[in-house]
A = this chain, B = another copy of it.
Amino acid sequence: MPLVVIGGVAAGLSAAARARRLDPRLEIVVLEQGPAVSYGACGLPYFVEGRVREPGDLVVHTPEYFRKERHIDVRTGARAAAISHPRREVTLEGGERVAYDKLVIATGARCDTAGIQGAGQPHVFTLHTLDDGVRLRAFLRERSPRRAVVVGGGYIGVEAADALRRNGLEVTLLERSAHLLLRADAAFTASVRRQLEKHGVEVRLDTSAGIVEAGSVDGVPCDMVVVAAGFRPNAELAAGAGIHLGRSGAIGTDDRMETNLRGVFAAGDCAEVNHLVSGRPAYIPLGTTANKCGRVAGANAAGGRERFAGIVGTSIVDIFGMAFASAGFSVEQARAEGFSPVAARIEALARPRYFQGTRTTVELVADRASRRVVGGSVIGEEGAAGRIGVIATALASRMRVDEFEQLDLPYSPPFAPVWDPLLVAAQQLLKDL
């Protein structure tokens, strides 16, 4: 009986490919409800913007590739309707039954537009699948809308606002919470907001979208709407099979990515993972995590014994040429997780003054009791990805600020100042610890 994988994007195909590599003779079936597999969903905003020209540019491999080159039976348009673990079978929407020995659930997530009246209209879009992107791009080309409302100030919402603005639209962004980019951090949010507003995006925080009408959302005039809010794990199929969900509503797993049902694994946007800083399960759905967890799930489903240690919540977003990156917890988040956070936020040059370095903002958050770094953020036009990578690595190794302050970071005038902004932030933080 085969290994069956439900879901053919990041986590699902990582699982299938890894299982194939470990066991060349295993029968592997991938069930994908949509028409396409193996695409880089994180590139969709750049396809909408136009920087990525063809939807095909986002597709890594076709179903044919997997069938022919990897001997993986990828079935598109195959929507799993139910799982019966006692019978070890998945029932498809059409009634067909697919037997499994091991099962990987990689059903992803969705934008839940249920709370928004009128979300079904043709000028309302989500940005989740390749089809969503194609449909939105066609609307831009054919209808030449002048005004857009984006609902949701997370990664996709902010990237969509950037993409639409660059296409010349007037854009209003509505975010239900007081924060942008999912980081409970007033200063970080203020910086994101400033950058959006500087480039002509109107930002309204603490604002839910209620009613979409033909020419407006809650009275804000617009010709089109992008809903990038209400992100929910597709966990119903799993729950229906008796699989335990975590507190977030996503599927709970152990460090082998196995659910409470033996031989049933879950990975990607439908599943929780361990957060290395808090030591507790977290739901932070991102493409990189989906790939890594999928790999581990696939390895274990193929008889391996691998574990996924966890994530630290690293993210980076480009907004009109400025990077906003964060990892671990903000002060507010750290406090909610039970730490006694102390933070330092500094502004410094990303490269020496005599090398025309631009300003970068670094915040480091530490726990007073353990002196461990528990979070940080980097904002700037250059070097932000590298610097958040350093913070992420320090978080993964539970580094104390004392060690962080002496990190042997690369120095040469074309790349960094002699005192890297990360070290300046750590020095500042040590004064308060």
Using a CB–CB distance below 8 Å, which chain A residues touch chain B? 10, 40, 42-43, 46, 51-52, 57-58, 155, 276, 286-289, 291-292, 308-318, 323, 325, 327, 352-355, 383-390, 392-397, 399, 403, 406-416, 418-420
Contact = CB atoms under 8 A, between A and B. Distances in A.
A408 B314 contact: yes
Nearest to A326: B410
Contact of A416 (B40, B46, B385): B385
Nearest to A402: B309
Contact of A354 (B58, B286, B385): B58
27 contacts: A42-B411, A43-B354, A46-B354, A46-B355, A46-B413, A46-B414, A52-B354, A52-B355, A155-B412, A291-B418, A291-B419, A309-B403, A310-B406, A314-B408, A314-B410, A318-B412, A318-B414, A327-B408, A383-B385, A384-B415, A386-B389, A393-B399, A394-B397, A396-B399, A396-B406, A397-B397, A397-B399
A245 to B, nearest CB: 23
A408 B390 contact: no
B393 A317 contact: no
Contacts of A51: 355
B392 A40 contact: no
A300 to B, nearest CB: 14
Contact of A40 (B286, B313, B352): B352
Nearest to A308: B406
B288 A409 contact: yes
Given A46-B355, A403-B309, A389 B410 contact: yes
Contact of A393 (B42, B353, B390): B390
Contacts of A407: 389, 392-393, 396
Nearest to A324: B412
A395 B386 CA distance: 16
Contact of A408 (B58, B155, B288, B416): B288
State the copy count for this chain.
2
Given A291-B419, A316-B415, A403 B396 contact: yes
Contact of A412 (B42, B58, B393): B42
B392 A389 contact: no
Nearest to A392: B408
Nearest to A286: B411
A410 B385 contact: yes
A209 B185 CA distance: 59
Contacts of A406: 292, 308-310, 396
Contacts of A316: 410-412, 415
Nearest to A10: B418
Contact of A385 (B288, B291, B313, B386): B386
A418 B309 contact: no
A416 B397 CA distance: 22
Nearest to A292: B406
Nearest to A44: B413
Nearest to A318: B414
A58 B289 CA distance: 43
Contacts of A403: 309, 396-397
